[in-house]
Amino acid sequence: MASSASNEAEEKLLPSASSSPVDDEDGLEEEEGVEEERAYDSDEKIVIAVSSDDDEEGDPRSGDVGAGGAPPFSWRKLWRFTGPGFLMSIAFLDPGNLEGDLQAGAIAGYSLLWLLLWATTMGLLIQLLSARLGVATGRHLAELCRDEYPRWARVALWVMAEMALIGADIQEVIGSAIAIKIISGGWIPLWAGVVITAFDCFIFLFLENYGVRKLEAFFGILIATMGISFAIMFGETQPSAKELLLGIIVPKLHTKTIRQAVGVVGCVIMPHNVFLHSALVQSRKINTGKKTRVREAISYFSIESTLALAVSFIINVFVTTVFAKGFYGSQEAGNIGLENAGQFLQKKYGARLFPILYIWGIGLLASGQSSTITGTYAGQFIMGGFLNLRLRKWVRAMITRSCAIVPTIIVALFFDTENAGMDALNESLNVLQSVQIPFVLIPLITLVSKEQVMGSFKIGPTAKVVSWVVVVFLIAINGYLLVTFFAAEVHGPLFGSTLCMALAVYVAFVIYLVVRETTFYNRLISAVSRSS
């Protein structure tokens, strides 16, 4: 009787994510008459070849699995799992990150390379948790947030996610437009570059019709283009190998480079990218009803994500060291941004083997185009997941793209010739994204720690502590950015008091997200005790 009462109390109090309907083929149950939004339809998913030795059935949430061991490592399987991590890694190579790299190199030299390494490592941890959530549940973060939180909270989370996505998209579109302007020799103005970039969603839709692997191959080409372009720049400028290694190994931080250090860390976590990765892993057909299948998928996705971010780290190092070698300690160091970086490089190094101005432009274009398309991709999952919309993909892509293009064209017209104004805009957009960081990281850690959601694949106590330490650190870093920004920009008592009220609401929502689970479990224990 006590056990029955406990189960009844738990059933009443557990979040709806624990009983969410999912496709039967993926190891979950589907409610009759309920059709939910899915990241990928069954016929879109890539089949992962499995051996006949791993056919034991079971439910990973309950631990009811067969006795068979995990299948051996296979390079062929790793290749079939390869793709989502590299699409995710593009957010670590977007124009905002490249600008942070070049400014860190120009102002701080090689001294912040160690921070870039650790920031990438922290980013990897967050993305691995996102992938784990998507694989173990068969659903992505936006869908799970829809079931986990009450209506008012999930609407607030959706609005925050959309704002972060729009802010990132504006930076990425502007980055592409700057690259087009550089490559065209200034013939194509910034606003026209924005319009050209706006149509990249049609490339995305065209490729998506030919399958996930074609789309992933396209992004692979863009990443390779970035890697080759910045490697050529690295070879042309020949930074010091000794200082590079010392910069990676020996931690150094000066008071004059705090702002650049905050920028390096703050650019790592893109809120929309966390939503994106948990959805991308569902492009592989994995039976979540078999524990060995889930464990295998998590393992392969972890390897692939690590390789992808290792590549992104090397590319970021190329950019940082090129500008460290060329401009550290110079008068121009504090004035370099995305738009004039090519001219500074051309003036410094000229055209040796290759015209370095256009090499920079090509790498920047690949960065901007790839990140804007993945932003469109992420926007589909965010909108569909939070709102459970059954819209055609091209409709959602157009809605997502339109939200950013109109303000971006206005921005391009206004800031076309004002570099100082463009820098201020970028700083404001960075702040906009920093504001959203808690509203993606806290739900992620909450969900991936819950047995009701993850079953036996929830993270353990050590991983949970490490994850929370990383999350608190990232929130603190972005909080520092917010404080310094508003301290410089807030003028007048009316604006100051309004800002304080908004800040109070913001902090209250963050506290709610943190303490909500503790309150829930206290209620659950109390209910079970009373029933007993």
- Tens-place pLDDT, residues 98-153: 988 998 999 999 999 999 999 999 999 999 999 999 999 999 999 999 999 999 99
What digits encode the pLDDT tens for the residues 438-489? 899 999 999 999 989 998 999 999 999 999 998 888 888 877 777 776 766 6
* Measured distance CA(109)–CA(438) in Å, rounded: 31
The residue-averaged pLDDT of 282-309 equals: 91
Any domain includes 60: no
497, part of any domain: no
Give mean pLDDT, residues 520-530.
55
The model's pTM: 0.84
pLDDT of residue 520: 56
Rounded CA gap, 248 and 112, in Å? 8
- Give the chain's mean pLDDT: 80
* Weakest-pLDDT range from 172-186, 365-379, 410-424: 410-424
Q: What is the pLDDT of residues 195-235, one digit of tens each?
A: 888 777 677 777 777 888 888 999 999 999 999 999 999 99
485 located within any domain: no
CATH number for the domain spanning 167: value is 1.10.4160.10
> Model confidence over 375-434: pLDDT tens digits?
888 888 898 889 887 777 677 777 767 776 777 777 767 765 455 566 667 767 777 777
pLDDT at residue 56, rounded to an integer = 44
> Is residue 257 domain-resident?
yes
Q: φ and ψ at 439, to 5 degrees?
A: -85, 0
The structural domain count of the chain equals 1
Reference 239, options 336, 311, 324, 315; nearest CA is 324
When mean pLDDT is compared across 25-29, 83-87, 327-331, the lowest value belongs to 25-29
Structural domain harbouring 377: 75-432
Residue 510 lies in a domain: no
For residue 142, is it within any domain?
Answer: yes
Would 56 be classed as within a structural domain? no
What are 420's two structure tokens? 């100082």
> Taking a C-beta distance cutoff of 8 angstroms, is the pair 225, 311 a contact?
no
Q: Is 128 part of any domain?
A: yes
